[in-house]
Amino acid sequence: MITKEFVPCIYLYRTNCVKSLFDVTVVDNDPIALASKYAEAGADEIIIFDMSENDTEHDAALDIMKDICAKTEVDIIGAGNVKRMEDIKKILYTGCKRAVLDYTKQSNIEITEEVSLKFGKEKIMISYQDAETLSANKDKIEKYVSSMILMNPHHIHETMEIINLPFYVQVNQIALDKMLSLFANETVCGITGNAMNDNCNEIAALKALCEQNNI
């Protein structure tokens, strides 16, 4: 049985934590403190999305990831701004447990085999928006990827029909009954996104609720 996890995320833009990938409203100007807050609240892992727009911002984001990995006890997943194998290497060298390939970018799809063979399948994840992407790359994903992040919760059942890999679902908000039904899906291994960020202080209670429902 796949362990179910509560996974807040940090959207890192110009050294600040912002609302989402599409909203750069600053929610915290101290990413390390925010990561510590999530960890202390009971987060199982934390995903960091690097939203940098140039090499200088990218280097600054990697430095922040390194500090978070060094000072936070939970595992960190690094995502965003991957253009070539070297970027996966840099993410993993910060101390991140795994690095994410963005499957909305053809260049990321193309380096999947290379980075998996170089760093190990268990270190490589993908993020994706739609089930069609999974269908088109099913064999490659199954062979070279350990787990996935579904960025669009409307494609949960299609994902399960196409591929038998554990995946996290990014959700903006979720009711308790919906959370339980989401976790009832065998290969859904975690919930991430603002549904977790905005309710991080409730993680311990949510875990207890899952336990009461045999999840």
How many CB atoms lie under 10 A from the CB of residue 98? 22
Quick one: pLDDT at residue 175? 85
What mean pLDDT value characterizes the chain? 95
pLDDT at 3 over 90: no
Given pLDDT bands bounded at 50, 70 and 90, which one contains residue 2? Answer: confident
pLDDT in tens, 60-105: 999 999 999 999 999 999 999 999 999 999 999 999 999 999 999 9
Q: Which residue has the tokens 């922040």?
A: 64
pLDDT in tens, 145-195: 999 999 999 999 999 999 999 999 999 988 888 888 999 899 999 999 999
DSSP E strands, the chain: 5-7, 9-13, 16-20, 23-28, 45-50, 75-79, 98-102, 124-128, 147-150, 167-170, 188-192
Token pair of 40 as six digits: 């202390």
